[in-house]
Structure 1
Amino acid sequence: MASLTYSDTEGADPDTTRKEWAMRSLMIDVSPLRASPEFRLVFGARIVSLFGIALTTVGVPWQVYEMTRSSLAVSLAAAVVGVTTLVGTLAGGVIADRFDRRTVILASRGTAAVVFAVLAVNAAVPSPQLWVLYLCVAVNGGTAVSQSALMAVTPAIVPRDQLAAAGALVALSTQIGAVVGPSVAGLLIAGPGLTVNFGLCAVASAVTTTLLWFLPPLPPQGGTKAHPLAAIREGAAFVARNPVVRGVLLVDVAAMLFALPQVLFPQVVVEVLERGPEAAGLLYTAPAVGAMIAALTSGWTTTVRHTGRVLLVAVGLYGAAIGLFGLSPAMPGDPLVWALGFLAVAGASDMVSEILRRALLADVTPDHLQGRVSSVWLAQATVGPSAGGVEAGVASRLLGPGPAIAAGGAVCVVATAALATFLPPLRRASLHHDAGGADERSEAAPREAR
């Protein structure tokens, strides 16, 4: 779909052109899929890979909880994968700038296929071992080196004027896998069992590796020669001193640390909703459904004037929806229906905030720091959910799962309001710089690509 502005419709019937412009401004742009065979391979591989990963998103915490009856044990598994994913992400940014990115991606995804096969074998034996689960999630976290390489690949296979559209499609691919995977996982766990669930994860990773095998060699162009620690420090220093980048990351942390209750889903299903694994799959799926709807109707985000304000509202709405999810048992009627509805709203709000966060980070970051700033963002996006999972597990022990989730959502709303108050540059940030965003990007200017 080619981009369309309202001026393109001059001379036609005003009512018709307004409707057409409004509809097309909402539709997601698929031109990168038409223009780039390599991007089609990456897009297809991501959908298959994320479907497999989504199966583990339900399978691993369900098996840990089934073996231990402890949400704290589930949160510790999340912490393990968070630490190794952090290491893999930071290392991946450097590795992807020094070696052929196709090779890095293939090695990483091939390793993931082996890890999922081991999980399947562990689930099949009469006495599954908890330490094997923790070891597998730790190694799988290390395969996050492919994330930085995949992010670096996109500019090499997509025309420059289609990078924004490619980013929206990448976000959509994430949600497609997240919508289908958890629901299928719930059915698999309730039916044939965890062995089949993890076996399909291994098959999905093998298919992903096969698809990406057909990519051409993708060596880095002008890769950094600085010491890895020095390169990481430079990116972190920019993040610390730029108020918009700092604010974007802080508001993201506020949501992840206080309002990320996924590790409590098994406990909520068993103790609060009194349902089975099918309901757990639905809880994991609901945010992805809301997020996918938001992604498919995301055209308006490119024209919104007050980007920072809308971002803050989206994060605040996310926290409120999570808080209400925690109060679902007190709602009239079926609490599962309320829970799924609030989680869908949370997922949609989170997708809007992600689109705007990506756009603001790209807008205010100089070209030579784009990769490292992205690496810092990926790193905090890894640490945040793990820390949030531990916080949720501890809070659940003190308050119970429902009150812990409700309190976390409320804290997220308060923290977001505080950031809006004490970080005016974030509140004033805009992708349309005549709307007040010019001052916030002065540190990043000049940029040759503008």
Structure 2
Amino acid sequence: MSDTTLDIVELLLTAHIYNKYPELDVNDLPKNIRKYYWSREHKTVPKPIKVKVTDIEKLLQISNVSSHTGSLPFVDIDDMGFLMRITALDVGAEWFQKMDESRERISHNPVLAFYYEKKETEGVDYSSAKTKVRPKEVDREWIESFIEEIAKEEGGDDMLKLVEISAPEDIKQTLRDFILTTEQEDEVKKIVKAIQYKDYLKHIGLYDVGKVLMVGPPGTGKTSLAKAMSEHLSIPFVEVRLSMITDQYLGETAKNIDRVFSLAKRVSPCILFIDEFDFVAKTRSSDEHAALKRAVNTLLKAIDGISLTNDGVLLLAATNHPRMLDSAAWRRFDEIMKFPLPEPEMRKKILDIVTKEIKGKFDTEEIASLTHGYSGSDLRMVIREGVLSALVTERMEITQKDLLNAVVSFDERATIKTNEYEPVM
């Protein structure tokens, strides 16, 4: 039996079983089916799923659908050649189960696993299948539905302008792409466990968890790691730069802060990432404008008022200037994650990851020894410069000379950046 026929029968069985059992919801559907039948209006995949022949053609990228199922007595196409369905579930499920690939397919499809487990099929585990399908919040479709709903509300467009919301599936750099310090690895593990045992933490009354301040120089990976955690945890990423919500009328800044935190609670579960945290939560002095003080106090109260255990919001804030923060700001965070500039061994590991798909003869250990004080972002720029230099001469392989020249070029740029510009008279 061809894979195409199995694909069609799996889709038809999944739709039939999903429609039949009220216990099943959108998070039980395999991702490709969920994304295809997603309804922005309903923010889910509404029941019943009606499988059109054109759906099968688009979803499975095939043509002449009937030729693949014509011999199957449990599959029917209506008189108009429009809708396709399973006519005898038990017969179709038994046929599917006998196929060589069925065990693997069932183990990755919670809807099928649910059905076969109810039939007491040996080796089928619905709970295990559920772990292999990420929740709807991973999908861009879910984010777009949410944004569309907010935009319809009064003042919704203004609220959405304050943040950038990313779906986990949009985030390309995963945790596997990072070289972390031992301390950073420990902090990430704590965060993962806090989310995994969120209900337990709530039960024991531990609410002040899930607020992490990320501290380190520019380019050390604070934003990238925060996004990677969104992908890893399968929850949306809500990013706000405090400089972007600071209004010329300082009274509006406080309102904008409240809007952002309110929005994060509605997206929940999510990561709320506050970049440039020092922009508003800076050391307060006696001669500051009263409205700015109110904005800072609003931010601190908003942090107090949001909780991973109660609201499902993991708060990550990043600063390049920790000395600008006063003690009141520091006290709001239960964890501090430090992002130091990488040491030579760490620089080599970063270079090895960045160059893993790049062909050529080069020595990353030498480059690591020459790049003291470079951040991870700086190292990526060196590799980019080396690759582009090679492409100028029509080469898709790089040499050590390309990378050494790139280091020299980067150092020259850094010198220019730190020198005061003096116009020629």
Between Structure 1 and Structure 2, whose CA radius of gyration is higher?
A: 2
TM range (shorter): under 0.3
TM-score (norm 2): 0.23
